[in-house]
Chain A
Amino acid sequence: MLKILANIGKNLISKPYTSNYPFTPYQHFPGVRADVTFDGTKCILCGLCQRSCPAECILIHKEQEQIEYLNTQCIRCGYCVRVCPTNAISQNEVYTKPSRQRLTVYTKVTNENAPVIKKRMAAEAAKKAAAEKPATAGTGPAKPAGEKKVDEKKTSA
């Protein structure tokens, strides 16, 4: 009983342990495993991360040549970072703030060594060559090479 009294006396004069959370944010320790980012210049669209993700939060769209990352569904296990053969995936130390919407991050793949892109480029080049021979140039313009764009899909209430 006396020990508890001494303890509450000590508590009374010491600074409060709790923090005023939204105003003084929590400081993470270095090395914390948070959001995953994709490097579009390294990815070869092999789809290994999609198959190995336990939360099924990575979707590889081979036709559109982009990676869809469902941020709010991710469990930050870091397994995709391990399995990636080209080290295109990295895990940073910044957590996404809680949000009411589902956050989806799209990453455009621009790596020219990716098999899918190689194939497309080869096809385009062949088409261009075929078009140039009879008439003037003027095939489809190059797709906008947007590095990364964040799209917030609003879920209807």
Chain B
Amino acid sequence: MKTTIQFGPQHPVWVEPLRLKLTMDGEIVKDCELEAGFCHRGLEKKFEWDYNKGAYLSERICGICTQHHSTCYCTAVEGTMGLEIPRRAAVIRTIMLELERLHSHLLAIGLTLESIGFENLFMLCFRNREIVLDMFERTTGNRVLHGINIVGGVIRNIGPEMAKELEDFCDIMEKRCLDLKDMILKSYTIRERMQGVGVMSEQLARDLCVVGPVARGSNVPYDIRAVAPYVLYNEIKVKPIVETSGDCWARSVVRVRELFQSIDIIRQCIPLLADAGEDIFAKSKTLPEKEYFTRVEAPRGELFYYAKGKKSKEMDRIKVRTSTYGNGPGFVPLIKGSHLADVGLITITFDPCIGCFDR
């Protein structure tokens, strides 16, 4: 019996709308078709705007990696006008980026566990994530959309007291992440469900140019922090975390291991705050008719902004290429031939962000 299943646009496993049209043979998926664009908001057109407002607009592209989006946008615009941001601003941006990677990865791990019906660890992940959000509220004043990046620097300083708090936070977080890692890596049922499921071979990963933990789970050590360093990653060397097997398990383990990498980077950044100057903001210049592009390693992978200015306050063209945009073509070959029970799991280990995908 052949049936066609419309997996989405509304489906419990994804919060956001994406449609997979699955042709089934019993429990096995024979064919798969990807359809996107359910939340296309025309943001690239809207970006032809006052460049100062663009930083706030770019945060709204995605609710999870807001800091990465606005940092990437600001770096691109600063690049067109040849602006150098103060060192303190760069350190603060780096700390925020890594904090955000922490909370995004915890979210992704939690959702992965939820998609295989493990509600208990899902709750644990979200509880740990809550601590990171509290930290955000203390440092930036907002929980999710931080709004501290503007073209030329940041608007909130991290003082010595806050730096102390951040250090304490790192200790607590590391302990909790170690617990979480133990629980995930040693659970029999999670291994049973995730190992050998949705294998993306190294060749396929190179062909489709997938990014982020998806690529690193398939033995492709592609990390923008190492390949093309931005803000402070020239000083803080990052070694890409790589797993070889390429299945759902590998992708999740990459995320679990990157939690510790992020905590480590935050710890390295905090002492740099002490001897960075007090300046956190450089006055922006006029926008020349130039083009520039920047890339940032967002939690889901490489994030790309292309900016082109014209001789006015408004931007001429902004192109946003998000990480799910790069990973999107990877869904189809992996889902073909898998079980229906694994479709949600495979897609959620890509950590899809449809808001990013459609823009």
Please determine if A and B sit in direct contact within the complex, based on CB atoms under 8 angstroms apart. Answer: yes
Residues of A within 8 A of B (CB): 1-4, 7-8, 17, 28-29, 31-33, 52, 54, 75-79, 82
User: Chain A contacts of B127 at CB under 8 A?
Assistant: 17
User: Chain A contacts of B134 at CB under 8 A?
Assistant: 29
Question: In the bound complex, do residue A1 and residue B188 qualify as a contact, i.e. CB atoms below 8 Å apart?
Answer: yes
CB distance from B316 to the nearest CB of A (A): 19
CA distance A82 to B52 in the complex (A): 12
Q: Among B50, B147, B187, which residue has its beta carbon within 8 angstroms of that of A77?
A: B147
Interface residues on B, range: 20 to 34
CA distance A32 to B133 in the complex (A): 12
User: Chain B contacts of A76 at CB under 8 A?
Assistant: 142, 147
Q: A28-B137, A29-B134, A52-B53 are in contact. Are A4 and B187 (CB under 8 A)?
A: yes
Question: In the bound complex, do residue A54 and residue B57 qualify as a contact, i.e. CB atoms below 8 Å apart?
Answer: yes
Q: Produce 1/0 per residue, B130-150, CB < 8 A to A.
A: 100010011001100101001
Interface segment among B178-186, B195-203, B250-258, B339-347: the answer is B178-186
Q: Among B56, B142, B179, which residue has its beta carbon within 8 angstroms of that of A79?
A: B56
Is residue B121 contacting chain A, with contact meaning CB distance below 8 A?
yes
User: Chain B contacts of A2 at CB under 8 A?
Assistant: 186
14 A–B contacts from the bound complex (CB under 8 Å): A3-B182, A4-B187, A7-B120, A8-B120, A29-B134, A32-B137, A32-B142, A33-B141, A33-B147, A54-B53, A54-B57, A77-B147, A78-B147, A79-B56
Q: Among A1, A28, A52, which residue has its beta carbon within 8 angstroms of that of B186?
A: A1
Dominant secondary structure at the B interface: helix
A-B contact count (CB 8 A): 55
Chain B 109-167 residues near chain A, CB threshold 8 A: 120-121, 124, 127, 130, 134, 137-138, 141-142, 145, 147, 150, 155
Question: In the bound complex, do residue A79 and residue B52 qualify as a contact, i.e. CB atoms below 8 Å apart?
Answer: yes
CA distance A78 to B59 in the complex (A): 14
Q: A77-B56, A78-B147 are in contact. Are A3 and B186 (CB under 8 A)?
A: yes
User: Chain B contacts of A32 at CB under 8 A?
Assistant: 137, 141-142
Per CB-CB distance, the 5 closest pairs between chain A and chain B, nearest first, are A33-B141, A54-B53, A54-B56, A77-B147, A29-B138
Question: In the bound complex, do residue A4 and residue B53 qualify as a contact, i.e. CB atoms below 8 Å apart?
Answer: no
CA distance A60 to B51 in the complex (A): 22
CA distance A33 to B141 in the complex (A): 5
- Among A4, A7, A17, the one with the most B-chain Cβ atoms within 10 Å of its Cβ is A4
Q: Which residue of B lies closest to A34 (CB)?
A: B141
